[in-house]
Amino acid sequence: MYDLEQRTLEFTKKINRYVSSLPKNISNMENGKQLIRSGGSVGANYREANDNLGKNDFLMRIKISRKEAKETIFWLELTEPLQENIPIKQNLLQEAEELMKIFSAILKNSK
């Protein structure tokens, strides 16, 4: 069974591990904080969508999840990982893109 709540939770955990591995400089520290916020918000808003107060609430939360996934891409692009962590960054970027597409499909199919 496909569990998007679990997938977004794993995504957030990977974001947290990635940020912890970043070199400690001012830009990574600030961008990392924003990345943790937006990455975590993807799953948090999806969970809220599943406990919605109606169709409009559900759609709003899915839109927010999609927006947060897009914002996560922005902050990921600004981070400067160690050379050996570049593949991790690429995987996170790909996952964020996939999540955006999933949320877009949910919105399209919910109308």
Q: Which residues contact 14 (CB under 8 A, 6 or more apart)?
A: 88, 91, 92, 95
Which domain covers residue 46, as residue numbers?
4-109
Provide the domain count of the chain. 1
CATH for 84: 1.20.1440.60
User: 0.85 cut: is pTM over it?
Assistant: yes
Segment 20-53, tens digit of pLDDT:
999 999 999 999 999 999 999 999 999 999 987 8
- In the chain, DSSP finds a helix count (H) and a strand count (E) of 4, 0
Segment 81-109, tens digit of pLDDT:
999 999 999 999 999 999 999 999 999 99
